[in-house]
């Protein structure tokens, strides 16, 4: 067994199996396990959101815009100036990537744990049996009861209506992925049409790709995708990062004020009053206040 398996996949699989033993339902176990992992990674998500906002603020900074314009034909000089501004403002352009990078092993591990636990062939069952910790009774765990609602979690999901198999979960995956990417879209490309087109196409292709995976793979994985998307949306909404108005508006209709609102949500406590004054009313006051509650103390400067 390699290190990845030993420190990530095996413990996660065993936790998932342990939850399954407790709740006696694999579908509910997948939901609980996904939510648990999402909860545990909230500090990382918050850090990522904070860094993203700082970078977004910088994009709107007049001095930064001026430099961008001034050195647009001199990439070397532009890079140097950008570095200087980052240093001045104490921003690390990669700091929003770090929490994401830290989350990646957890997300991959979660995915692999779910796939591993849904073993449906003798070969996969054997592999699962071998990674179960001794304190969990293999005989009580294997095989896992894969039945959940109308689904067999170990197989691609179809809801048969008049003999036609409808991939309900795959459709839900496409929908929730699209809602998530659309409502969490970052700032526009500053008028760069090609970047905007790429973003739009990615925003459409990614949900379809996720849906394709959900259609092809086991229903348990599709269930994980749906719960993961919904919980991510909820967490981001609580952090004030969701803009559901975007669902029914094109990028061109975006108002720049959102970034100002976002900035106010991540600023430190001393800046709060000032932020309240500058920020226009948030479309979702409840989300805004929740975000304040969730703001990690570490964010204080």
Q: Which is nearer to other proteins, 49 or 151 (CB)?
A: 151
55 binds other proteins (CB under 8 A): no
> In the structure encoding, which two tokens stand for residue 247, read together?
């669902």
Among 21, 35, 42, 125, the residue binding other proteins under the rule CB under 8 A is: 125
- Told to check if 104 binds other proteins by CB under 8 A, we report no
Among the residues of the chain, which ranges form H helices? Answer: 3-4, 10-23, 26-40, 42-59, 62-70, 75-89, 97-117, 122-131, 138-141, 168-183, 193-216, 219-238, 257-266, 272-278, 285-294
Is residue 50 within the footprint of other proteins (CB under 8 A)? Answer: no
Closest contact distance (angstroms) between CB of 78 and other proteins is 38
Cβ 195 to other proteins, closest distance in Å?
22
Q: What are the structure tokens assigned to 6, written together?
A: 């030993």
Residue 129 interacts with other proteins (CB under 8 A): yes or no: yes
* Closest C-alpha among 165, 153, 284, 288 to residue 227: 153
* CA 123 vs CA 79, 176, 179: distances in Å: 53, 33, 37
Q: Quickly list DSSP for 228-246.
A: HHHHHHHHHHHTT---GGG
Q: How far apart are CA 181 and CA 172, in angstroms?
A: 14
Q: Tell me whether residue 49 or residue 222 sits nearer to other proteins (CB atom).
A: 222
The total number of residues written for the chain in this structure: 301
Q: What is the DSSP letter of 6?
A: I
Cα separations in angstroms, 137 against 95, 110, 285: 43, 22, 49
- How big is the site for other proteins, counted in residues (CB under 8 A)? 38
- Counting contacts by CB under 8 A, is residue 197 touching other proteins? no
> Based on CB atoms, which residue is closest to other proteins, 249 or 286?
249
**Shortest Cβ 41–other proteins spacing (Å):** 27
207 binds other proteins (CB under 8 A): yes
Q: Minimum distance between the CB of residue 183 and other proteins, rounded to whole angstroms?
A: 13
Of 219, 270, 206, 283, the closest CA to residue 31 belongs to: 219
Q: Note whether 123 binds other proteins by CB under 8 A.
A: yes
174 makes contact with other proteins (CB under 8 A) = yes
Contact code string over 134-173 relative to other proteins, x by CB under 8 A:
----xx--xx-xxx----x-xxx-x-x------x--xx--
| Sites of contact with other proteins (CB under 8 A) | 120-126, 129, 138-139, 142-143, 145-147, 152, 154-156, 158, 160, 167, 170-171, 174-175, 178, 204, 207-208, 211-212, 215-217, 247-249
């Amino acid at each position: 067994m390699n290190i990845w398996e030993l420190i990530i996949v095996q413990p996660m699989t065993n936790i998932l199996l342990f939850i399954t033993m407790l709740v006696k339902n694999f579908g509910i176990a997948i939901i609980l396990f996904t939510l648990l992992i999402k909860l545990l990674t909230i500090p990382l998500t918050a850090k990522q959101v904070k860094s993203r906002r700082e970078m977004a603020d910088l994009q709107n900074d007049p001095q930064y815009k001026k430099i961008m314009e001034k050195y647009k034909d001199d990439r070397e000089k532009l890079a140097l100036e950008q570095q200087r501004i980052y240093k001045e403002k104490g921003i690390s352009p990669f700091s929003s990537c770090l929490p994401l990078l830290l989350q990646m092993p957890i997300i991959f591990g979660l995915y692999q744990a779910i796939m591993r636990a849904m073993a449906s062939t003798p070969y996969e069952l054997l592999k699962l049996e071998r990674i179960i910790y001794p304190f969990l009774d293999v005989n009580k765990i294997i095989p896992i009861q894969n039945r959940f609602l109308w689904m067999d979690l170990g197989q691609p999901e179809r809801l048969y209506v008049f003999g036609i198999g409808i991939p309900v979960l795959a459709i839900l995956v496409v929908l929730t992925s699209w809602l998530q990417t659309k409502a969490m879209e970052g700032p526009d490309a500053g008028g760069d049409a090609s970047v905007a087109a790429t973003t739009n196409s990615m925003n459409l292709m990614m949900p379809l790709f996720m849906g394709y995976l959900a259609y092809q793979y086991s229903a348990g994985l599709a269930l994980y995708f749906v719960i993961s998307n919904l919980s991510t949306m909820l967490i981001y909404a609580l952090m004030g990062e969701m803009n559901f108005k975007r669902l029914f508006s094109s990028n061109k209709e975006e108002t720049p004020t959102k970034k100002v609102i976002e900035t106010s949500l991540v600023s430190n406590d001393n800046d709060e009053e000032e932020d309240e004054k500058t920020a226009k009313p948030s479309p979702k006051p409840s989300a805004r206040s929740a975000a304040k509650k969730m703001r990690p103390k570490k964010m204080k400067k």
